[in-house]
């Protein structure tokens, strides 16, 4: 069926999948060469066909080949933010007709601010899908094995795209349940579908998956098990991983991806860091605009190497990550760079009175306390923090003093801490959840 679909649609998913399955075993030098050649091709194309790059390369006096050959030269290019791309969208679209015809609009609601209408060409879509498949094989899954997705349903998609999604789901033996609606009714529906399909794996946003796990635990549904669970879209904290492993009797694979640049990295079966998707992403780790020393923490800036129709070169994701030292070798045998961890989003960092920045989600540690099912920390102003807790049956009120003390140590003794106890915390329209956010305005607009 897939072969017929490809012939009709002009897509080359299977070829891309085979390509990625082979290149994952390349040695370091071969991977670097493959990445540099893809970067060179993209830079040449962008200079030739994409107005923004034509203009900025000329203004900076840089040549596409020189940019591909020298990281120092490459760093001369301005880092792109989501706000900038949103405001100058037309300048990022290719003028070359053949690729332009394959562009498809993907609107993200985003965790903050306005929606972002991002464009993807066939080449990008094929690599993104093939890249997901490759990551799924790392848990033993094979093309055609049943799979479940707890996912944000795309809004406002044209009828043709919705029909295609239904056809693809059938062809690929997968089902989807909306991650935004986590009512008992929708979770019961998910249970019924799991029983019918018996998916080998479940893929979804971290909080949606842990909410499902708690539902399964509460209702003692011991037959709801998977070989693997893939978490994505949000930070995965150790207590959440432990919960998923325990309830679903599965291995948990942390996958890091965004709509704008696709799959960035994923854990292999060693569960000791995430392999960067070097065939599709050229990554830089920066702090205050400078490369971070080995093993350090910084912001990830990504160049996707496949989306010619709407190239994003040096795109700032505003996520803080930590890299493994370059000499680190994973025992699975795959070479190439690895992320040690994805710490969280820059917007989850709270500015303090003294000019510092601290993780507003307390590094997920609230989720490690007994009796706290879900938590959200909101910084209203420099001296007011609201903590929302969804309490379980074994909640101990003594905890509140501990949490308050901890926030005051972090944010300053004069900080006021207010608690709220909702029955549930809402998901974003995308189906993702935010553990923490600050309403204090930032200079950089993030
Ligand atoms: Zn590995």
Reduced to 3 states (helix: H, G, I; strand: E, B; else coil), residue 43 is helix
**Pair (188, 278) in one structural domain:** yes
Please report the pLDDT score of residue 156 as a whole number. Answer: 56
| Distance between Cα 274 and ligand 1 center (Å) | 7
**Pair (244, 389) in one structural domain:** no
- The verdict on residue 54 lying in a domain is yes
Percent of the chain with pLDDT over 70: 94
**Pair (316, 278) in one structural domain:** yes
- The verdict on residue 402 lying in a domain is yes
| Distance between Cα 316 and ligand 1 center (Å) | 26
Please report the pLDDT score of residue 158 as a whole number. Answer: 64
What separation in angstroms does the CA of 68 have from each of 204, 234, 410? 35, 32, 43
Please report the pLDDT score of residue 321 as a whole number. Answer: 93
Write out pLDDT tens, residues 367-412. 778 888 888 999 999 999 999 999 988 899 999 999 999 899 888 8
Split at pLDDT 50, 70, 90, the class of 8 is low
Split at pLDDT 50, 70, 90, the class of 425 is confident
Least confidently predicted of 50-54, 152-156, 327-331:
152-156
* Residues shown for the chain: 446
**Pair (297, 405) in one structural domain:** no
What average pLDDT does range 51-75 have in this prediction? Answer: 96
| Cα separation, 315 vs 379, whole angstroms | 27
**Pair (244, 375) in one structural domain:** no
Look at residues 317, 344, 371 and tell me which one is the last residue of a structural domain: 344
Look at residues 316, 344, 372 and tell me which one is the last residue of a structural domain: 344
CATH code of the domain in which 414 resides:
3.30.300.30
| Distance between Cα 268 and ligand 1 center (Å) | 5
The count of domains in the chain is: 2
| Distance between Cα 240 and ligand 1 center (Å) | 22
**Pair (137, 188) in one structural domain:** yes
Least confidently predicted of 287-296, 408-417, 423-432:
423-432
End-to-end CA separation in angstroms for the chain: 44
Task: Using the predicted structure, report yes or no on whether residue 200 has a pLDDT greater than 80.
Answer: yes
Task: Using the predicted structure, report yes or no on whether residue 159 has a pLDDT greater than 80.
Answer: no
| Distance between Cα 196 and ligand 1 center (Å) | 33
Mutual angle of helices 206-218 and 238-248, in 10-degree steps: 50
**Pair (29, 50) in one structural domain:** yes
The DSSP secondary structure of 69-127, one letter per residue, reads H-HHHHTTSPPB-HHHHHHTGGGGS---HHHHTT-EEEEE--SSSS-EEEEE-HHHHHH
Cα-to-chain-centroid distance, residue 104: 20
- The verdict on residue 190 lying in a domain is yes
Least confidently predicted of 203-207, 208-212, 362-366:
362-366
Mean residue pLDDT of the chain comes to 89
The phi, psi pair for 349, rounded to 5°, reads -85, 130
| Distance between Cα 281 and ligand 1 center (Å) | 17
Write out pLDDT tens, residues 175-195. 888 887 888 898 999 999 999
Please report the pLDDT score of residue 209 as a whole number. Answer: 94
| Cα separation, 328 vs 322, whole angstroms | 13
| Distance between Cα 271 and ligand 1 center (Å) | 7
CATH code of the domain in which 116 resides:
3.40.50.12780
Return contacts of 403-407, CB within 8 angstroms, 24+ apart. Answer: 403/366, 406/362, 407/362, 407/377
| Overall pTM > 0.85 | yes
| Distance between Cα 135 and ligand 1 center (Å) | 11
| Distance between Cα 292 and ligand 1 center (Å) | 23
Q: What is the dihedral of CA 386, 444, 429, 218, to 10 degrees?
A: -40
Task: Using the predicted structure, report yes or no on whether residue 318 has a pLDDT greater than 90.
Answer: no
What average pLDDT does range 47-55 have in this prediction? Answer: 98
| Distance between Cα 335 and ligand 1 center (Å) | 8
Least confidently predicted of 101-115, 124-138, 270-284, 314-328:
101-115
| Distance between Cα 145 and ligand 1 center (Å) | 22
Beta bridge mates, 359: 349
| Distance between Cα 276 and ligand 1 center (Å) | 10
Please report the pLDDT score of residue 175 as a whole number. Answer: 86
Please report the pLDDT score of residue 154 as a whole number. Answer: 57
| Distance between Cα 133 and ligand 1 center (Å) | 16
Task: Using the predicted structure, report yes or no on whether residue 59 has a pLDDT greater than 90.
Answer: yes
Please report the pLDDT score of residue 352 as a whole number. Answer: 86
Look at residues 327, 344, 361 and tell me which one is the last residue of a structural domain: 344
Query: Domain of 370?
Result: 352-438
What average pLDDT does range 115-134 have in this prediction? Answer: 92
Please report the pLDDT score of residue 129 as a whole number. Answer: 93
- The verdict on residue 444 lying in a domain is no
Write out pLDDT tens, residues 242-253. 999 999 999 999
**Pair (129, 34) in one structural domain:** yes
| Distance between Cα 436 and ligand 1 center (Å) | 31
| Distance between Cα 23 and ligand 1 center (Å) | 14
Task: Using the predicted structure, report yes or no on whether residue 120 has a pLDDT greater than 70.
Answer: yes
The sign of the torsion formed by the CA atoms of 91, 263, 35, 341 equals positive
| Distance between Cα 269 and ligand 1 center (Å) | 7
Task: Using the predicted structure, report yes or no on whether residue 41 has a pLDDT greater than 70.
Answer: yes
| Distance between Cα 256 and ligand 1 center (Å) | 15
| Distance between Cα 264 and ligand 1 center (Å) | 15
| Distance between Cα 227 and ligand 1 center (Å) | 18
Task: Using the predicted structure, report yes or no on whether residue 278 has a pLDDT greater than 90.
Answer: yes
| Distance between Cα 273 and ligand 1 center (Å) | 8
Split at pLDDT 50, 70, 90, the class of 114 is low
**Pair (299, 378) in one structural domain:** no
Please report the pLDDT score of residue 202 as a whole number. Answer: 96
Task: Using the predicted structure, report yes or no on whether residue 160 has a pLDDT greater than 70.
Answer: no
- The verdict on residue 140 lying in a domain is yes
**Pair (82, 101) in one structural domain:** yes
Task: Using the predicted structure, report yes or no on whether residue 446 has a pLDDT greater than 80.
Answer: no
Please report the pLDDT score of residue 203 as a whole number. Answer: 95
């Amino acid at each position: 069926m897939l072969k017929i679909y490809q012939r009709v649609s002009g897509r080359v998913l299977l070829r891309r999948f085979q390509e990625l399955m082979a290149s994952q075993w390349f040695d370091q030098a071969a991977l670097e060469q493959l990445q540099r050649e893809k970067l060179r091709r993209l830079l040449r194309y962008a200079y030739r066909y994409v107005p923004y790059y034509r203009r900025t390369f000329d203004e900076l006096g840089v040549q596409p080949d020189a940019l591909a050959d020298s990281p120092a030269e490459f760093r001369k290019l301005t880092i792109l933010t989501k706000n900038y791309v949103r405001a100058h969208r037309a300048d990022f679209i290719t003028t070359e007709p053949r690729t332009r015809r394959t562009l498809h609009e993907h609107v993200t609601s985003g965790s903050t601010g306005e929606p972002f209408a991002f464009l993807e060409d066939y080449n990008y879509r094929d690599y993104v899908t093939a890249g997901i498949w490759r990551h799924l094989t790392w848990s033993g899954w094979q093309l055609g094995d049943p799979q479940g997705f707890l996912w944000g349903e795309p809004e406002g998609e044209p009828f043709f795209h919705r029909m295609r999604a239904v056809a693809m789901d059938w062809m690929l033996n997968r089902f989807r349940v909306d991650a935004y609606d986590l009512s008992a009714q929708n979770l019961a529906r998910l249970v019924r579908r799991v029983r019918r399909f018996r998916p080998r794996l479940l893929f979804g946003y971290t909080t949606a998956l842990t909410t499902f796990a708690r539902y399964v635990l509460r209702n003692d549904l011991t037959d709801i098990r998977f070989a693997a669970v893939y978490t994505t879209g949000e930070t995965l904290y150790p207590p959440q991983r432990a919960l998923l492993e325990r309830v679903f009797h599965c291995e948990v694979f942390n996958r890091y991806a965004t709509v704008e640049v696709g799959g960035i990295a994923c854990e292999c079966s060693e569960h000791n860091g995430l392999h960067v998707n070097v065939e599709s992403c050229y990554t830089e780790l920066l702090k205050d605009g400078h490369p971070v020393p080995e093993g350090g923490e910084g912001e990830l800036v990504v160049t996707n190497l496949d989306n010619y129709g709407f190239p994003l070169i040096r795109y700032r994701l505003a996520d803080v990550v930590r890299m493994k030292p370059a000499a680190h070798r994973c025992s699975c045998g795959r070479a190439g760079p690895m992320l040690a961890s994805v710490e969280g989003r820059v917007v989850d960092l709270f500015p303090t009175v003294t000019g510092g920045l601290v993780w507003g989600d307390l590094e997920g540690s609230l989720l490690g306390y007994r009796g706290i099912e879900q938590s959200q920390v909101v910084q209203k102003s420099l001296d007011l923090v609201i903590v929302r807790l969804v309490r379980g049956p074994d909640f101990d009120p003594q905890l509140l003093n501990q949490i308050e003390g901890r926030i005051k140590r972090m944010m300053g003794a004069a900080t006021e801490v207010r608690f709220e106890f909702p029955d549930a915390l809402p998901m974003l329209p995308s189906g993702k959840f935010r553990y923490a956010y600050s309403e204090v305005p930032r200079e950089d607009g993030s």
